[in-house]
Chains A and B, each alone.
Chain A
Amino acid sequence: MINDTLQNRRTVIAIIITVVIVIYILRLFSIQIIESRYKEGADSNAFFKKTQFPPRGLIYDRNHTLLVYNKPAYNIALIMREIRELDTLAFCKALNISKEYFIKRIAEIRDRKKNYGYSSYTPQLFMTQLGIEDIATIQQSMYKYPGFYIQNRTLREYAFPNAAHVLGSIGEVSQAKIESDSYYKQGDYTGRDGIEKTYEKQLRGVKGVEVLLRDAKGRIKGKYENGKEDVAPKAGENLNLTLDAQLQVLAEKLLKGKMGSVVAIEPSTGEILAMVSNPSFNPSILVGRQRSKNYMQLVRDPLKPLMNRATQAQYSPGSAFKPIQALVCQQMGGISANTLFSCSGPGSSPIKCTHSHGSPVSLLSAIEQSCNPYFWNAFKVTVEKNGYGEKNILFRTNYDEWADKMKSFGLGEKFTDGDIYEQSRGYIPTQKFYNKVYRAETGWRAITIRSLSIGQGEVLVTPLQLANSMAVIANNGYYITPHLNRCDSMRKKIHRCKVDKKYFPIVYEGMCRVFESGTARASRIEGLVMCGKTGTVENSHGDNHSIFVGFAPRENPKIAIAVVVENAGYGSLYAAPIFSLLVEQFIYRKIKRTELLNKTCVTVTNSNVKER
C-alpha cells in the first residue's frame, strides 16, 4: 500500500504551498501598506481635476462708471495621449491655422525645455485667448477631434479707450511667477502692470476645482462623490477707482498731439482724479491673441507709449518749484514775508530774470512774477544763514535740512505706501552727492548749486510728485499718499510736511496772483479763485518743457493738478490752459469755454505723437 517514506513528501508540498502564500502576503503588505506611490497613481488616474476659473473683478471709476469688465474667451487644450486618428487638415481649417503652425505648436508642447510641466496625461494649452468668432466653426465639430478640449476663460474688455496706463493689463503668467507662487498654473492670467498688477490678488479671486472621474479611455464619468470634494471658485472683488472718467477722458483729449502728462489729485483725500500720459494707446489692443504682437510694437515705438510719463518721467520742476522753495526758506528762517531782494531783470547775476518788473521785489511779487534772482537770494541766505563753519559743516548741515524739508513734500522719493506700481523716484540731491561731484566737503557752496534755487539742475521730480506737492499746499501742510483705489484705508496714509502752517498764506496769495496779474492771466476762470504756478524748464534735449501746477478753488481746494507738456515752450502758453480747462470740468462738470477747449485740443506740439 502506501509507501511511508513518501508520506513525508506531503509535508514538503505543504511547506511549498505555505511559503508561496506567505510570499504573496508579504508582497501585498509591501505594495499596499509600505509603498504610497500606488495610491497617488490611482488618484492621478481616476480624478480629473478641472479648474474652475473665477470671474475677475470689475473696475469702476469714482462715480461708479464701469471701466473694465470681462468677455468670454476660449482656450483650446489637448491631452496628448488621447489624440486619435486626427484629421489634421480639417482641424487646422476649422481653427483657421496653418498646418505648419499646428506642427510647430505640437513640437513646442512636447519640448520639455520650453514646456516644463509637460505630460501626455494632463491637459496642455494648444491655443489660448480665442474669441467666440475664432472657435465658432470648430465648436460644433469638436467631437471629431478626441483629445482636444475647449476651455472657457474670460478676457478683459474696456468701456473706454482711455486710461491704459492706469488700468494696466493682464497676460499669461510667466514661468518665474509660476515657480515663486504655487497659486499659478501654466496658462493662468495675471495682472502685468498698472492697477491689474497692484490689485492682482483682489481682482483675480480664488480658483475652484471640480473633481471628475475619468475612465481608462479618458472619458469623464461624472462628478466624484456628487461634488463633495469640489471647491467653488470665489469671484474676484470689484474695484472702485478714484479716477473721474470724464475728467480722465478730457485730460487725454487735451493732451492730443502733445507729449506729456497730467496728474490730478483731490487734496483732501489723496485720490487721483485723473492720470494721463501721452503718447498712449487703446488698452483693448493688449487683450487676447493680438496682445504679444501689439505689445512688441509698443515696445519698439521710439516715443515709448508704454511708459507712464505721469509717474515714470522725471523732470526738473523749474519755476513750479518756487512755491515750495518759498515755504522751506521761510521755515528755515532765511526769509520772511517782508524780505526784499533786488532784481535787475535779464541783467541779474548770477541768475538772470526772465521777466521785467519793479525792484526790489517782495516774496509775494516774486512768486507772482516768478522772479529768479529773488529765489536765488532766498536760497543763498537760507542755506548760508550760519556761514560755512569748519570744513563747511554749518553750510552742509543747513543743506541737509533744506533737502529733508523738500522731501517732506513727497519729492525725490517713491510713494511706497501707495498703490501705483510703476513709479520713478525723482531726485533731491544729497549732501553726499555734491561732496562727490565737487570732490570735497568744502568744494561746494550755495553759488555752486545755484540752479537748485529755481528748480533746475540736479533736482528731478515726477508729475505725480508735482501734483502731490500742490496738494500739500492746498492742504496747508500735509498730504495723503496719492492712490487709485477708492477706499477708507487708503485715505488714512497722512504725511505732514515739515513747514509750519503759518508760512502758507503768503504762498497762497502769490499763487493766486499768478492768475490775476501774473503769468497765467490768460487762463483765468470767471468767478473762480485759483492758485497756480507756471514753469518753463530748460532741458538739454530740445525746447523747454511747459509746466503748470496749481489747485482750485482757493478756499477748500477740490483739485490739485500738475501738467507737463514736453518741449512746448512757455508754461503759460500750453500747460496753463489745460490746467484751467480741467479745473472747469471738475468744478462745474461742464465746459463753457468751448473755443479754448477746441483750440487746446488741436494744438500740436509734437507732430510725431499721433492718435492710436
Chain B
Amino acid sequence: MSKNVSIKYALDWTTVFYFVVLVLMGWISIYGASYDFDQASIFDFDQRAGKQFIWILTAIGIAGVLLLVDSKMYSIFAYVIYGAAILLLILTIFVAKDIKGSRSWLEIGPVSFQPAELAKMATALALSKFMSSYNYKLKNWKDLIPLGVIIFLPFSLIILQNETGSALVFVAFLLMLYREGMNGIVLLLGTFAIFLFIIVIRYSIIPIQIDHGSLGIVLAMSIILIVQAGYAFFFTKHQKESIILVLGAIGIALISYIINIWYHLNYDTVTIITIIASCIYWTVIEIMNRYKKYWFMILFSLISVAFSFSAYYLFDKVLEPHQQIRIKVLLSMEEDLNGAGYNVNQSKIAIGSGGFWGKGFLNGTQTKLKYVPEQDTDFIFCTVGEEHGFWGSTLVLFFYWLLLMRLLRIAERQRDSFSRVYAYCVTSILFFHLTINIGMVLGIMPVIGIPLPFFSYGGSSLWGFTILLFILLRLDAARLERMR
C-alpha cells in the first residue's frame, strides 16, 4: 500500500499528461480517418476507433501493471527479456503468415501483434544493462562488439521478416550512443554519407556531356575536395596549401574540359585521379612538415570516394525496384502519381488542403473518401492536417516536442546509468519514429512504413510505445524512492 502511494507521488505526471493528450488526439484522428458516411459512434467496436478504444484501455492497464513492478526487476531481467524477444522474433519468421510479403505478425487467439514492437523495448533494456555494467567503456573495442551484436541481432531478424522500416528504427540507438560518449564524428559522418548518397543518386541521371561521366560523381568528388581544403584552411596552419589545392583542382577541370574538345576523356576518371593526387599531396605535406593531422582526412577522402561509387552500385543493383522508385520520387527524379508517388501526393493534398484552420472535424474529403491509403495507421497525420489545418498539426508537433524535451530532462536526472541509457533509448526511438513518419507524410522522407507513436491505429504499436514509456516512468519514480 505504501508503495502505491509513493508511486503516486514519484510518478512524472507531466509525461503521463503528454501521453494521454497524444493518445486521445490519436484516437479522435482514427475516428475521423475511418469515419464513413453511415457510421455514427466512436464506440462502435466493429470500427477502427472502437477497437482503438479497447487498445487504449488495455494499454493503460499494462501501464498500471508496469508501474507496480519493482524497478529493480527491469534491470535484473533485462537479458532474459531480450533473449525472450529474440526467440519470439525467430519464431515469428517461421510461424507468421505472409501478409503482403511481410512475416511479422503473430496471432494469438483473436489478437495479432508484431513482436518487432516489443523487440525495441527489449533491446533498449539489454543495451542499458550492458552499458551500465561495471568496467564498461564505449571506447573499448572489446565492449563495442557485444554492443553491436545486441543491436544487430534483432535488426537482422526483423529484416528477415521483411519489415525493413521497423528494422531501421535500430539506427536510432546512434543518438543514445552519442550521448554515452560515442565520437560525434560518427553522427557527422553519417549525415555526410546520406548527403553524398543523395548527391550521387540525384545527379547520376544527368550526364555532363554524353558518355563523359555523370554529374553526380563529379559533384561528389568536388565536395570531398572542398571538405579537404576547408579542413586544412580552418583547422590547420596550411591555408596557403589549401588554396593551391583549390586552384589546382579548378585548373585540372579547365584543362580536362579543353582536352575533351579533341580527345575523349571521362570526367569520372579525371575526378578520381584528382582525389588520389590530392591525397598524395597531403601525405607529402604531412611528411615534410611532420604534421600528423592529415592521415584521418586522407582516410576520409578515400572512403568517401569508395562510398560514392558503391552508392550508385548499391542503388542500382541492391535496392529493389519499388525501393528505387520511392527514393526517386522523393528526390523529384520521377513523378509517378499513380504508382509509388500516389500515397505521398495524396497525403500532401490532404494536408495542404487543410489550410490554416482545417476543414473541421469529420469534414475532410481526402480522408473520408479514402484517397489517402493507410490513413489510420502510417498516414494518420493526414487527418490532423486536413481537418485541423496548420494550427492543429503544429499543436500535435508541439506536444511531441514537449514530450521529447521532458524525456531528455528525465534522462539527465537519473542517478544510475541504466536508467539514463534506457531513457535515451526511449527518446531516440520516439524521435526516430516521429522524424520518419511525419517526414514521409510531408513528402520529405522516403516512404518507410512505421507508425506515429501513440497516434497510429493498432494494438501492437500502442502497446509497444506504452510499455517503452512506462518502464522509463517506473525507473524514474524509483529515483525518488531511493532518495528517501
Contacts and interface: CB of A to CB of B under 8 A. Distances in A.
Given A38-B353, A39-B355, A45-B369, A28 B405 contact: no
Interface stretch (B54-62, B76-84, B344-352): B344-352
A215 to B, nearest CB: 4
Contacts of A1: 415
Given A10-B179, A24-B438, A39-B352, A213 B393 contact: no
B358 to A, nearest CB: 9
B369 A216 contact: yes
- Which of B365, B393, B417 lies at the interface centre, i.e. has the most chain A CB atoms within 10 A of its CB? B365
B393 A13 contact: no
Nearest to B355: A32
B interface majority secondary structure: helix
A42 B442 contact: no
B70 interface: no
Interface string A384-415: 00000000000000000000000000000000
A46 interface: yes
A217 to B, nearest CB: 8
B366 A45 contact: yes
Contacts of B136: none
A215 B412 contact: no
B393 to A, nearest CB: 5
Contacts of A216: 346, 369-371
B404 interface: yes
Given A24-B439, A221-B37, A31 B348 contact: yes
Contact of B397 (A21, A35, A217): A21
A180 B427 CA distance: 63
Given A32-B354, A42-B350, A213-B365, A13 B408 contact: yes
B356 A32 contact: yes
B391 to A, nearest CB: 10
Contacts of A31: 348, 351-352, 442
A351 B299 CA distance: 119
Contacts of B302: none
Contacts of B393: 25, 28, 32
Contacts of B365: 42-43, 45-47, 213
A360 interface: no
Contact of A28 (B181, B371, B394): B394
Contacts of B397: 21, 24-25, 28
Contacts of B315: none
Nearest to A40: B353
B374 interface: no
Contacts of B427: 13
A41 B405 contact: no
A6 B412 contact: no
Interface residues of A, number: 42
A599 B227 CA distance: 109
A328 B417 CA distance: 122
B401 interface: yes
A121 to B, nearest CB: 11
Contacts of B184: 9, 12
Interface string B333-348: 0000010000000101
A3 B137 CA distance: 12
A176 interface: no
Contacts of B265: none
Interface string A13-51: 110111011011101110111010111011101110000
A7 B350 CA distance: 41
A333 interface: no
B389 interface: yes
A17 B417 CA distance: 22
B267 interface: no
B401 A17 contact: yes
A222 interface: yes
B229 to A, nearest CB: 26
Given A6-B180, A32-B389, A42 B370 contact: no
A18 B401 contact: yes
A214 interface: yes
Contacts of A20: 431, 434-435
Nearest to A219: B369
Contacts of A32: 351-352, 354-356, 385, 389-390, 393
Contact of A41 (B338, B349, B389): B349
B444 interface: yes
Interface in B393-444: 393-394, 397, 400-401, 404-405, 408, 411-412, 415, 417, 420, 427, 431, 434-435, 438-439, 442, 444
A41 B401 contact: no
Contact of B352 (A6, A21, A35): A35
Contact of B405 (A6, A7, A14): A14
A21 B405 CA distance: 12
A339 to B, nearest CB: 88
B405 A45 contact: no
B181 A38 contact: no
A21 B431 CA distance: 10
Contacts of B412: 7, 10
A217 B371 CA distance: 8
B408 A14 contact: yes
Given A45-B366, A216-B369, A38 B348 contact: yes
B159 interface: no
B175 interface: yes
Contacts of A81: 338
Contact of A42 (B338, B353, B405, B439): B353
B181 A41 contact: no
Contacts of B386: 42
B79 to A, nearest CB: 24
Nearest to B416: A1
B37 A13 contact: no
Contact of A215 (B181, B369, B431, B439): B369
A140 to B, nearest CB: 28
Nearest to B175: A13
B450 to A, nearest CB: 15
| Residue of A3, A24, A27 with most partner-chain B CB within 10 A | A24
Nearest to A18: B401
Nearest to A36: B352
Contacts of A221: 37, 369
Contacts of A3: 181
B37 A28 contact: no
A6 B442 CA distance: 34
B178 interface: yes
Contacts of A13: 175, 178-179, 408, 427
A21 B351 contact: no
A473 to B, nearest CB: 70
B281 to A, nearest CB: 34
Interface in A189-221: 213-217, 221
Contacts of B444: 23, 27
A46 B389 contact: no
A513 B352 CA distance: 87
Contacts of B356: 32-33
Nearest to A214: B369
Which of A7, A12, A47 counts the most B-chain CB atoms under 10 A from its CB?
A: A12
A45 B181 contact: no
A213 B367 CA distance: 12
Interface of A: 1-3, 6-7, 9-10, 12-14, 16-18, 20-21, 23-25, 27-29, 31-33, 35, 37-39, 41-43, 45-47, 81, 213-217, 221-222
Given A14-B408, A45-B349, 16 more contacts: A2-B420, A3-B181, A10-B179, A20-B434, A24-B397, A25-B394, A32-B354, A38-B351, A45-B365, A45-B366, A46-B369, A213-B369, A216-B370, A216-B371, A221-B37, A221-B369
Which 6 pairs across A and B sit closest by C-beta, in order of nearness?
A: A38-B352, A42-B353, A46-B365, A215-B369, A31-B352, A41-B349
Interface of B: 37, 175, 178-181, 184, 338, 346, 348-356, 365-366, 368-371, 385-386, 389-390, 393-394, 397, 400-401, 404-405, 408, 411-412, 415, 417, 420, 427, 431, 434-435, 438-439, 442, 444
